[in-house]
Structure 1
Amino acid sequence: MIPADIAWMLMATALVLLMTPGVAFFYGGMVPVRSVISTKFQSFACMGVVGLIWAVCGYSLVFSEGNIFIGGFDYLMLSNVGVDPNASYGPTIPHVLFMLFQATFAIITPALITGAVAERVRFKAWLIIMALWSLCVYVPVAHWVWGPGGWIAKMGGLDFAGGLVVHMTSGFAALVAAIMLGNRAGFKPEENNSFSVLMVWLGATFLWFGWFGFNAGSALGANGLAAYAAGTTFFAAATSMTIWMICDWVIGGKPTAVGAAVGAVAGLVAITPAAGYVSLQAALIIGVVAAVGCYFAARLVKHTLKTDDTVDVFACHGVGGMIGTILTAVFASTAINPAGADGLLFGGVDLFRANVIGALVVVGYTGVVTAVIFKLVGLITPVRVSQSEEKSGLDMTQHGERAFALR
């Protein structure tokens, strides 16, 4: 084991865990004050429920030997997970540290979905959906991409830090959830109901800061690849944020602070699968494509399709994750990371084929399973709140609390 690697991975794990509260603040600032607690609590709850699931069986089903679709039970209840390194995963750090790092990815993924169902999902129903979704969507897809013998990995697909596993699953699940729940009462795409732009920016700050752990930490060591992934992460986000502001200015007439924050997140999402495989120059291109693609996807969903994806989860994470996954297969280079593969730009047709097929299957699988889960949970308990509860706000009707004491 290497002490510097252990120290960095402890920090990276803490940084990624910080991203879930970041999601809570980011989403919480974009809803009316009557549902701020509810929106934030749906994300925070993932830290408990998904963390427990990860310990009981999630980690084992992703990272132990199984078949091409799902892992086995070698690490059930975290058995055989200790101080000694795992030769296959993080050979210079304790196995328990690798497991904890991966737990933070499992936790944030369903938390990302909550922004699409804000102000209208019952908390009890969400807890059940979150647990089932983590087991039935996140766990299998993570095994396909990162687990031993997963079919996407065997096919040659590359996903450095979660474009397929985290962002495409959560993004496309968010679109399905928003459609199945229906729009909020009085939904008007052109209205900005953000409770606090400052809270949005606090969340965006946590996310951008934490994303260095997300991407650079996926190098699994304090090494040059981690530094390089940090560089691609920063410049993709900076580029996407700038281009989004320009789009806002040209099309909307004014550059908005919330739009800039969303633009930065879109760039962070898109670079995630590519961070350790592409050049710094490619990261700039990915940032541009992500900003334009996600910006117009958000407008399409809300203004054209009239679908209430409350905080543009699908546009940022679904579309952004898809863009990043495909462009990884275009710009990846073994000159950057010999452990990767050459993308289409360097003659690597196999990588491009693998990532495209993997992305299409993940979209289809995520959409179908998410719809089934929502339907099944609806048979057990109501999923959507009543109109009167929605009007009163979910903070009081679901939790009996207010964000601020009004005197």
Structure 2
Amino acid sequence: MKRIKYQIWTVVLGLGILAGCEKENTASGVISPIVGVDFIRSLYNGDDVALKPEILMGANQVAGIVISDAASLNVEPGELVIQNVSKNKLAGISLDFGSAALDTYVPGDSVKIELSGATLTRKNGRLLISGLNVSGITRVSAGKETVIRTIAASELFSNFLTYESTLVRINNAGIMPVPVAGDTFEGERLLDDGTGGSIYLSTQATAVFAKESLPMNATFVGIPTYHNASKNTNIGAKQLLKMRAEADVSNASGTAYANFPEDFETPLAAAKSAYDMPATDNNVTLKSGSWKLYQSVFGAVRNSDRFDPSGNQCIRMQKNLSVPALLQMNFDLPDGASKVTLAYGSYGTEPSSTWRLEYSQDGGATWTAAGSDIADAAAVAKSVTFNLNIKGAVRFRVNKLGLGVSNVPFVLNGLLNIDSFTVYQNLD
């Protein structure tokens, strides 16, 4: 009997302890003082929202990583842009501190901001939190890794609200209309990465990089933001991408040099119809300058020579040689090279061949490969781009390797066509 009573007492005591622990755990729950950016953005439905704790689940702060750069002056005065991840969702927002100087806050700073008296609103299209005081900023840490999402211009255009006020990257985007010498970043420039959508690269006149030369094509990192000149709504607003600094541009191509692309349309094919013309040292004057065409001629046979359909000629390089065939500039371009593009193909039903692009910075005394050898010429012309970072005077040539007589499939050394040779300046 005593044993039974002891067991009952033990169970009751255990239940009492368990109940006490459950009550203590429940009571120990604390409301977070920080609310996620995505939650704040979700509160906006077209009307201003007073950001009080009762609508912020009891919170009175927002936190995130700084992605704007006030010192570059390509943001509005007193503007700080942050982004953070909450519940696996990345979101960003603009913070308006009036006329406060914010140069001390740099990309990668982790910050907390007091929201007392703040309002969620749209101003000239962009969603922001206004009514903030710079004294309410706390820097938690510095040098934090910042998420940058790589997207196509069409994706940004179609889902701009999702990406607003976050960092994005658009690869290999051209500037439209195509820049000419003297064009700078200042103003709004349409970006074209070939996927569609109207996204404008926007640079304020005050930006420290506003007067820098505008690239023809580049990869751009920036902060998407709306701009509506006449209303506060984002409906009908322009969709802008605002770089933070000049370092947000990479793989930049300057404009093409004058008289390029070299299309080999003049002189007429008869001026260089023999593969080796020692009397002229194989030199020919083209629209871009003097070139050496060694074991090379002008090709003008339609449907066999692979030239631009809008033209009538290209270069045809000899086959079955044990020595190189050359298409070589006899002149230097003064401002380096950021990129070279050209078209190539096999003449008629000829087998492929192997060639390489080379450059010289000592007047043609020595030559260096500008990339890997190319050996896939075919009956349909192809385009190739060589991304470079050559500074100072430079000249180029196509070197078709002398592999000997073709012996398909072991040795391929057929006639090679080259056309639309373009060199782009180096802006660095």
TM-score band w.r.t. shorter chain: under 0.3
What TM-score do you get using the length of structure 1 for normalisation?
0.22
What TM-score do you get using the length of structure 2 for normalisation?
0.21
Would you tell me which structure has more helix in proportion to its own residues?
A: 1
Greater RCO (CA < 8 Å, at least 6 residues apart): 1
